[in-house]
Structure 1
Amino acid sequence: MKIAYISTYAPRECGIGTFTGNLIRAMMKSDNDTVEGYVVAMNDYEQVYQYAEEVKLVIHQEQQADYLEAANFINLSGADLCFLQHEFGIYGGQNGVYILPLLHRLEIPIVVTLHTVLNAPSYNERAVLTEICKMANRVIVMNRKAVGFLVDIYGVPEGKISFIEHGVPDIHFDTIQSKKEFKIEDNKVLLTFGFIGRNKGIETVIRALPKIVDKYPDVIYMVLGKTHPNVLRHSGEEYRNFLQRLVKTLHLEDHVILLNEFFSQKELFKYLAACDIYITPYVNEAQITSGTLSYALGAGCAVVSTPYWHATELLADRRGKLFNFNQHEELAVILDKLLDSPSELKSLQANAAAYGKNITWPKIGQKYFKLAADLLSTPQEEVLKKRTIVDPLLLPPFSLAHIKRLTDDTGIIQHAKFGIPNLKEGYCLDDNARALLMVLIVHRQRKDPVALELAPIYMSYIHYMQNENGSFRNFLSFNRNFLDNVGSEDSFGRTIWALGYLLANAPNDAYYQMSKLVFFEAAPNFEKLQSIRSIANTMIGICYYLRSNPSDDGMTERLRHFATVLMKHFDENSAADWQWFEPLLAYDNGILPLALLHSAEMLNDDKVTQTALASMKFLTTVTLNGGYLSIIGNKDWYKRDGERSMFAQQPIDAMAMVLMYHQAFHLTKDKEYLNLLYTSFMWFLGENDLRMSLYDFETKGCCDGFENNGVNRNQGAESSLAYLISHLTVLKAYEEFYS
């Protein structure tokens, strides 16, 4: 059995790195050396470490390319299984999002050990951990309470979760000899160890000491550990300095020892043997795992702790004492009673030692080995079956809630801060045209009365923004001041698309007459269009118009002219390896083949059809060659013979792909286009380069895309409308397939 371990690793000073080293050694000993493995080590920031030979690859935390390289390395290494240690803060990007593309690309089973499970995660924390658990074949937790969190908050099937305690080294020292070595044989020793930070609550113990010292002047409190690297990076030694001032204020200089070192396991267990009482005074309950507490029990210490989650579980059955958070007086009472009762102290130590025998690393290693062996004995096709074709019936319920939130009596607000309308940015023509298109599709497919209530708002906005010459303004401030004289060609084309759709699908004559008026006032501007995307959008609008007015020869010729323009661009720019309309792939790319696919249906022209299919095939090859949609990023786009940009990916591109494949299926009846349609739609729900859902199940909105560090959590009109139009298209395609 060959295992790839992804984790921090010694000599990096990190408890999870220590955990991983112990796990590797324990698993190798668990079955007569039939286990081998290597480490992919996580480097923090610009740090450089001299790793041991088992580290075969290093990932720099904020270098996303390293994660993709690691996925390829692991897949080609012959590893049977990957063990990932997860803790927020280890992996790069927003809330560690960079680990998701790595896991998605792995071709072997994945076992994830969770060192933190939050019960009140942020949106991104929940999204990242949910996706990790989806891709994992097994999820290991070290606290039974974490099982409930994973099931209830993160939606993890309980059958996927395994409970395995935190292992402890099987190291023991004599108490008397250890005290002599540290020259504390005449002292009663209280001990805390681990990385230091505000959440450790060490000041609670210090404040409890004066009463203890008055009665037991031989008491000393030892705090072993460096300041946590993240604390040091952001706050320096502010907390340690605070503790030192507190010690001085309380005149405890002879009773408190703060050792600013990272101790080896051997040294730690010698200190644990020398202590009389071990204390974990953490300041809140949200600690699902504590390696230091596990070590203390493994060493047979009498433990006093605040009731954080792991302590509540580990110290049950008289294995320790609990006191409330930040309650130094209560702590002082407990310490006084224990120091005054050697028999009770020994009873706690005996109970802890008995429990500790069951969580030594050799025994924990056997549990990990058995889990790995059972997983590998599962038929491979079952283990690796991570994704299936989307069943539209399993999609999120369709909802207009966020669109209603963004809409007032003027129109739809174009931007949002998270899920809240950003009134400072006002309105734009593009989004009101998209909104009109979306609610018309909703009314046609679902007869939703809310859609019909919203439609006149968007139609009125379009009419209000039309100039006397038929062109349109685009932007309007929240206080209804025009912000431009003539809008972009893109906004013009999108408006024609919506108007054309309305002419073909008017819910009543009033809508038809209004859209006809605005459409034909705009028509003289068709010939002025230069941008091929505005031409493409306009072509789609014309096609919808011609479906209900097929005898309009003049408009048919306009469509033919536009199709000729697009095909000319294609002929001038395409080559054997570049079947495209421009020397680059930019934004909203699917709209170009989509326009030709619509035109092919109306014009019955073989060259139009061939160009549409050829360009669509090329776009498919570039953006879906990994089994999921990888949109061309708007940061730098993709120039021919250049590097393609991965960020910033935007929802309108995904929508264009969904619509393109739907029209291709409508035209050709080739069912493979439905698979591509579903795959493209799943970009919104996490089948993307970052493996994160852009749809917000709480607000019913869609995030504005993602950058290299994670999801842009703003949920503006463009992105949310793109999602809803795509969702409706999936439902329509499903109906067509089974009709």
Structure 2
Amino acid sequence: MQIALLAPLPPEQNGIADYAGHLRHALEALGVRVRTPLQGVGNDPEAARQRVAEADWQGIDLVHAEIGGGRLAEFHALRALRQRFAQLPLTATVHDPERLVWRREKLPWPLSMLATLRSPLPEVATVLADPLCLHEERQLARQMTRLVTLTHAGNRCLQQRMGLRQAQMAVIPHGNLPIAPLPLPPLQPLKLLYFGFIYRGKGIEDLLEALARLVTEQPGLRSRVRLTLAGGSEPEMAFGPSGSYLEQLRQRIRERGLSDLIGWHLDVPADEIPSVIQAHHVMVLPYRESSKLKILGQLRGTSGALSWATACGRGVITSDARSFGEEVSYGNGEIYPQGQVHALTQALARLCAEPQRAQAWADRAATLGRERVWSLTAERFHQLFQHACEVNE
């Protein structure tokens, strides 16, 4: 089988590029030939359409795309392919259900004029144009052979919002690298880890506030708990109109009197990620859903950081944002209501009072990780591709 993979790929630094890179290598290990016709176009819809027009599609059995993360290139490449090849099997992993892309490439006139004005007028223009965006998403979704989500919750939301047939849907959980198991460190001090790209909207402020409240309410815990903030800090994510986000976090840490409890491990090389995660007991992901996106729909994706925790055999405390509730329903952690700092503080307090919970969560995570290694995940995709080709014969 020869497929075309439409996706960002390493060295691009984002979760979907990492995912696509691992999937590609795992499929090639099964003997699938993988071509990447969009490589080098970046997130440029016009360049993607041009590449579709110029590329040689002879011998391609199926096209698979990775859609999400605010990217539009893959979406428009799929639209161009469907217009050109009515019978070519098209499949995609949708990373941010219940929508495909959530925004248009360009706003129609006269709304496009608002995009150049001061906030909130550009946001108003986006909302007013959303019915057109949703129509285009539904149009493509209904022409796809198969759409894959990483969770059942995301699958249900995507099917309902796009108006899809059950036969078009599939769930394949996020793949994991095969990480050698490593026992938990000694349970004192309790080592907590935030891991992921460090930028606004991840709820990191909630975690800092919860930790401050924890040691204020129970001063005896100050010597028994530590937190590491680890992950990517790309300038385009860590800097914005209000300045350096990293420096804002450091200032907040100083103001809360947490400097002695918090360490940093920024821009972790890929080969060091497992050792960083396994040096801790529990990962904490305090994500908040975007209030802006709530106007447009429900974001029911999952997290590459959650996948890393599973692969490394570590439990998680996470908010109920996205589809995290489903991902931590296997006895591998605890969920709290997003944005509720008091609830997060209580979850941390329970873990400190019963640190053996970390071991139980780790055991369940390790089992789940073995079930989701990329080699098995690629086999599920390979089977899905074969069925998709049979449907379009």
**Superposition TM-score tier, normalisation by shorter sequence:** 0.7 to 0.9
TM-score calculated relative to the size of structure 2: 0.81
1:230/1:109 Cα in 2 relative to 1: closer, same or farther (>3 Å)? farther
Write out aligned runs for 1:561-576 (5 A).
none
Distance 1:245 1:186 in 2: 27
Q: Is 1:303 matched up with 2:295?
A: no
1:73, CA displacement in angstroms?
A: 1.1
- Structure 1 counterpart of 2:177: 169
CA contact (8 A) 1:68 1:102 kept: no
Match of 1:91 among 72, 84, 101: 72
1:112/1:280 Cα in 2 relative to 1: closer, same or farther (>3 Å)? same
CA contact (8 A) 2:198 2:238 kept: no
Write out aligned runs for 1:71-90 (5 A).
71-76=53-58, 78-90=59-71
CA contact (8 A) 2:311 2:369 kept: yes
1:128/1:241 Cα in 2 relative to 1: closer, same or farther (>3 Å)? farther
CA contact (8 A) 2:210 2:345 kept: yes
1:161/1:256 Cα in 2 relative to 1: closer, same or farther (>3 Å)? same
Partner letter of residue 309 of structure 2?
A
Residue identity over aligned pairs, in percent, reads 21
- Structure 1 counterpart of 2:274: 269
Q: CA offsets, 1:639-674, max 9 Å, x none?
A: xxxxxxxxxxxxxxxxxxxxxxxxxxxxxxxxxxxx
Q: Which has the higher strand share?
A: 2
Distance 2:179 2:243 in 1: 32
1:306/1:79 Cα in 2 relative to 1: closer, same or farther (>3 Å)? same
Distance 1:185 1:11 in 2: 37
Q: CA offsets, 1:181-236, max 9 Å, x none?
A: xxx99742111111122221011111111344431424221122224665457547
1:123, CA displacement in angstroms?
A: 2.5
Distance 1:99 1:80 in 2: 15
Write out aligned runs for 1:553-592 (5 A).
none
1:105/1:230 Cα in 2 relative to 1: closer, same or farther (>3 Å)? farther
CA contact (8 A) 1:13 1:262 kept: no
Distance 1:65 1:308 in 2: 34
- Structure 2 counterpart of 1:356: 369
1:102, CA displacement in angstroms?
A: 4.2
1:98/1:89 Cα in 2 relative to 1: closer, same or farther (>3 Å)? farther
Distance 2:381 2:246 in 1: 38
Q: Is 1:139 matched up with 2:155?
A: no
Match of 1:100 among 60, 70, 79: 79
TM-score calculated relative to the size of structure 1: 0.45
Match of 1:68 among 30, 44, 50: 50
Higher relative contact order (CA 8 A, sep 6+): 2
1:74, CA displacement in angstroms?
A: 4.5
Partner letter of residue 112 of structure 1?
A
Query: Counterpart of 2:57 in 1: which secondary structure?
Result: helix
Query: Counterpart of 1:372 in 2: which secondary structure?
Result: helix
Write out aligned runs for 1:441-520 (5 A).
none
Match of 2:199 among 193, 197, 200: 197
1:274, CA displacement in angstroms?
A: 1.2
Partner letter of residue 35 of structure 2?
Y
Distance 1:290 1:147 in 2: 15
Distance 1:350 1:173 in 2: 10
Query: Counterpart of 2:10 in 1: which secondary structure?
Result: coil
CA contact (8 A) 2:154 2:323 kept: no
Distance 2:371 2:340 in 1: 32
Q: CA offsets, 1:556-613, max 9 Å, x none?
A: xxxxxxxxxxxxxxxxxxxxxxxxxxxxxxxxxxxxxxxxxxxxxxxxxxxxxxxxxx
Q: Which has the higher helix share?
A: 1
Q: Is 1:219 matched up with 2:225?
A: yes
Match of 1:114 among 72, 76, 94: 94
Match of 2:340 among 319, 327, 337: 327
1:342, CA displacement in angstroms?
A: 3.2
1:173, CA displacement in angstroms?
A: 4.8
- Structure 2 counterpart of 1:257: 263
Q: Greater shift after overlay, 349-358 or 162-171?
A: 349-358
1:278, CA displacement in angstroms?
A: 0.7
Q: Is 1:127 matched up with 2:135?
A: yes
CA contact (8 A) 1:191 1:278 kept: yes
Partner letter of residue 91 of structure 2?
V
Q: CA RMSD in A?
A: 2.7
Write out aligned runs for 1:394-413 (5 A).
none
1:357/1:98 Cα in 2 relative to 1: closer, same or farther (>3 Å)? closer
1:287, CA displacement in angstroms?
A: 4.1
1:71, CA displacement in angstroms?
A: 4.4
Residue segments in structure 1 that go unaligned for 5+ positions in a row? 42-56, 381-739
1:256/1:105 Cα in 2 relative to 1: closer, same or farther (>3 Å)? farther
1:346/1:65 Cα in 2 relative to 1: closer, same or farther (>3 Å)? closer
- Structure 2 counterpart of 1:36: 33
Distance 1:163 1:185 in 2: 36
1:279, CA displacement in angstroms?
A: 0.8
CA contact (8 A) 1:226 1:259 kept: no
CA contact (8 A) 1:175 1:274 kept: no
Query: Counterpart of 2:70 in 1: which secondary structure?
Result: coil
Query: Counterpart of 1:198 in 2: which secondary structure?
Result: coil
Match of 1:294 among 282, 290, 307: 307
CA contact (8 A) 1:297 1:356 kept: yes
Residue segments in structure 2 that go unaligned for 5+ positions in a row? 103-129, 290-297
Distance 2:188 2:152 in 1: 40
CA contact (8 A) 2:98 2:161 kept: no
- Structure 1 counterpart of 2:208: 206
Distance 2:351 2:46 in 1: 52
Q: CA offsets, 1:284-334, max 9 Å, x none?
A: 373422121122123221211111232111111422111122222322222
1:75, CA displacement in angstroms?
A: 1.4
1:254/1:125 Cα in 2 relative to 1: closer, same or farther (>3 Å)? farther
CA contact (8 A) 2:48 2:73 kept: no
Query: Counterpart of 2:3 in 1: which secondary structure?
Result: strand
Distance 2:139 2:343 in 1: 42
1:118, CA displacement in angstroms?
A: 3.5
Q: Is 1:8 matched up with 2:8?
A: yes
- Structure 2 counterpart of 1:59: 41
- Structure 2 counterpart of 1:154: 162
CA contact (8 A) 1:323 1:331 kept: yes
CA contact (8 A) 1:59 1:70 kept: no
Partner letter of residue 263 of structure 1?
P
